[in-house]
Copies of this chain bind each other. A is one copy, B any other.
Amino acid sequence: MTPDASRFLSDLHYLRSFGTTGTGVVRRAFSEPDIASRDWLAGQIRQIGLTPHIDPAGNVFGLADGPSLLIGSHSDTQPEGGWLDGAYGVIAGLEIARAAAEAGGPAISMVSFQDEEGRFGALTGSDIWAGRTPLAEADGYMSTDGIRFGDARQGLAHLMQDHFVDPARFTGFLEMHIEQGPVLDQSGDRAGVVTSIVGLRQVQVTVTGQQNHAGTTPMHLRRDAFQGAVQVASLLRERFANVVTPDTVWTIGHFRLHPNASSVVPGQAVFTIQWRDGDADRLDRLERVIKDVLAEVGTETGMAVAATQLRNDLVPVPMDDRMQAALRAAAEKHSPGSWRSMPSGALHDASNLSHLMPVGMLFVPSIGGISHAFDEDTKQEDLVLGLRILAEAAATLAPGRG
């Protein structure tokens, strides 16, 4: 089977038209453009000879008969979304399933999950389908504009089936996605075979010092919460250096001072530390470094330095070995010497599906590393190369290979 690049690009641009504004694409889950796009997708699925199935969560499946390999991603977007985030992997699934069906095999199904971008939950559609959140619970999710998931999904009720597709019919899941980061763009590699979706932990640190007059309080009598926070941040830079790999990332992205006035010695600093890595062990070791640093700064400064764990539920998800091997071989064939293995620093539906079946992921470059923004883009030749690599790997992995 051979995917048709121009058909693929044409479909990708057609999907873009649902929700396109003057500046970009806005297709929030269960919005009018999203519902229209899912209706269109079901029509395309029917045309290529697969069976459309829209489940109660709004996930759109295009089903091949019998056991099959599932390929797809999501087609909802961020509030200021780009045209490729999700859509790229969905249309690649559609075109590869079409080519396979036309060629009489292998058996390939496709999917577009719902609400990956978190209008209601986060990865809501695949979360429900993977049985990680009951539909009844998700129905209570409220969007920031005050709409319940349970009400919103009624907008697609006329197209929905009343049951979920049985995950057991799929032998594995392949998701292709734009990288949404700068690694491929900077290295010049044209594809990335994902090794794992990194795990994430997050704590909130509170440094409690003593609020005081910034003119009348001598330095040696101060317990300045900002200076305590600076000591924490400086020590983390030093100590993390012994534990991290080039793939580890950590961020202090949220920071708040009280009372936050230029003439007052800060009495309290509250900030988040978030760290991500593909290795659960390394996440542990980084957490121990943080705890040691907080204790050390507390002892040294006489301030209370306490941490609250905000997240430890996102464990690293390694990609399936066999799927990685197939993707590597296909990448080397279509882009020799110009691809790399890499972790995914962002979450994807594949995380949820890893609980059901072997999963693999392929990245293509994001120009300038830009995503979740209207100017998100990828070179057309890279979009097509990704399609070729994915189709090649799918042919190896799918049952009843053609």
Contacts and interface: CB of A to CB of B under 8 A. Distances in A.
Interface of A: 179-183, 186, 198, 200, 202, 212-221, 224, 226-227, 230, 233-234, 237, 244, 246-257, 260-266, 272, 274, 276, 310, 344-347, 369, 371-372
B237 A252 contact: no
Contacts of A249: 214-215, 217-219
A251 to B, nearest CB: 4
Contact of A215 (B214, B257, B346): B346
A157 to B, nearest CB: 33
A347 to B, nearest CB: 7
Most buried by B among A182, A234, A251, A263: A251
Contacts of A221: 182-183, 186, 369
Contacts of A181: 212-213, 215-218
Q: Give me the 6 closest cross-chain CB pairs, A-B, nearest first.
A: A181-B216, A215-B345, A262-B272, A214-B251, A216-B345, A230-B233
Contacts of A200: 215
A186 B222 CA distance: 12
A220 B183 CA distance: 10
B262 A251 contact: yes
Contacts of A215: 181, 198, 200, 249, 276, 344-347
A262 B257 contact: no
Contact of A274 (B263, B346, B372): B263
A216 B255 contact: no
Contact of A246 (B220, B230, B257): B220
Contacts of A256: 260
Contact of A254 (B180, B248, B262, B371): B262
A227 B218 contact: no
Contacts of A257: 253-255
A197 B382 CA distance: 67
A260 B254 CA distance: 4
